[in-house]
Every structure is written in structure tokens, then in C-alpha cells.
Amino acid sequence: MNKNFLVIPSIDIKDEKTVRVVQGIPELNCEEYGNNPVDMARIWRAENAKLIHIVDFDSAAHHVKKNWHIVEEICNSVIIPVEFAGGIRNIEDAKLALKMGVCRIVLTTMAIDSRNEFIKLIEEIGASKISVALDIVKEEIVVHARTVKTGLNYLDFAKDMAQLGVTRFIVTDVERNGLLGGPNLEYSKKVAETTGMHVTVSGGVRNKDELMDIKKLAEIGVDSVIIGRALYENRFPCQKLWRVAEAGIFN
């Protein structure tokens, strides 16, 4: 991958622990590395990640902040930017996340449920610090931790958001996310072509060949990909070598 295309590791947090643990590497399959999101962030940084994507499942589902101190610790523990998704419902949430050290917040529910406040947020903090997540089920946007259908077509919603000033979208085919069934590139391609904005692919990536397929879309604005399960299951060449070589750096 060249410097213009980012592979972004995802850390999913629930009940103050990572949802996924690294598989296939005996040196890192202890509880210390498996459950601690801060250590996981350090591992991805050691593997040369340039950005980390964090999802707070508890905050997304219940609008609670019990994991936010961990997010702040991650921001203070790695020297790369951290993107944060989960439970940003108002301007106060957004500003608190940025104060913790997050470089960019990811949201959708607020843009739909509190449109005027969302517009005000863009004006106050700038579009560069905001990504709108397009979580899609059969071309329909879903919100509230992907539990509520909105009736909004994803392309219509993306065009609307772009007109408000949004410059980046994270596109997820919810039915493929976490299943290693391959990414739905058609959704991402259409969003990029329709809006002219930057697009991050999320969900479904299984191997380096699919990464190269995504990279081919960079010329139309698809410039990054978020990967979770495939990284944790060591589906990419050299992951094992990197981890074994660097396993002692946290001692």
C-alpha cells in the first residue's frame, strides 16, 4: 500500500475489553493482550498502523461513557491519530471526545435525529473532524447501533450529508461486516462517485487481494479501509513475523 491508501485496524470495545482477541499467535494469546484495548492499540501501532479506528459498543447501544477513559488512554498511549465511533449524540459528546484526544469522530444517529445540532457541529469543529458512517442493510441506512431502520436510501442520505459539508463517509454493508464474506465495493464506489467525497470501506475484507481491489478505487476517492476480524485472525502475510519480533516491546 502506498502512503495515499490507509489500512486502518479496528478496536471494538465492550465492557472495557476488546471484543476480539488476536488468534494464531501463542506469544500474544494471553489474557493481557486479548482483553486490554490499550495494549491492542500499541500492537497495531507497532505494526505500522497510521490510524486506529475505535468502536465503543456500549456507548453506541446505550449512550454510556464507561469505556471513554480507555479511549482517552489509547489516545495518550500511541503517537498516531485515533478515530472514534459510538454514542456521539450531541455537540457535548463530540467536544468531549475531541478533548480526550480523538482526531475524528464518527456518527450517523445525530445527523438524522438532531439535524440542526449536527449542522451546528460542522460549523463549530469543522468537517475534517467528522466522518458520517453509512451502515447499510439492503440499501437502507440503519442507526442506533444498527438496530433501527431509517427508511433512507444510502445514496440519497450521502448526497444530503455532502451538501451539508460532510467530506468523508465510512461505508459498511452490515450483512457482510465481521463475516469475512468479502467487501461490498459497489456501495463504496457509488458513494464516492455520487458525492465526490472521501470514502473508507469497512467490513468483509479477507485477504491482501481484496485490499488491492479496494486500492484500485483510490482514484475516485476510496482511500482507506477499516479491517477488524481478518487482522485479528492473522489473514495477512508477515503479521506473525511482526508480532513475534515485537512481542517484548511492552515488557
Mean of pLDDT over the chain: 86
Please report which confidence band the pLDDT of residue 30 belongs to, taking 50, 70 and 90 as the band edges.
Answer: very low
Whole-angstrom CA distances from 80 to 41, 49, 116, 223 are: 10, 8, 32, 18
Does residue 12 carry a catalytic annotation? yes
Domain hosting 91: range is 6-250
- Catalytic pick among 12, 56, 58, 223: 12
pLDDT confidence of residue 175: 80
Q: Which residue has the higher pLDDT, 19 or 214?
A: 214
User: For residue 105, how far is the Cα from the chain centroid?
Assistant: 10
Nearest in space to 10 (alpha carbons), one of 44, 46, 33, 58:
44
Domain count, the chain: 1
Active-site residue, 209 included: no
Q: Do the domain assignments include residue 133?
A: yes
CATH number, residue 146: 3.20.20.70
| Within-domain flag for 1 | no
Residues 56, 58, 135, 223: which is the catalytic one? 135
State the residue for C-alpha cell 433501527: 148
Identify the pLDDT of residue 163. 98
Q: Please indicate, yes or no, whether the overall pTM of this predicted structure exceeds 0.75.
A: yes
Per-residue DSSP letter, 142: E
Is residue 90 one of the residues assigned to a domain?
yes
What is the average per-residue pLDDT within 82-105? 96
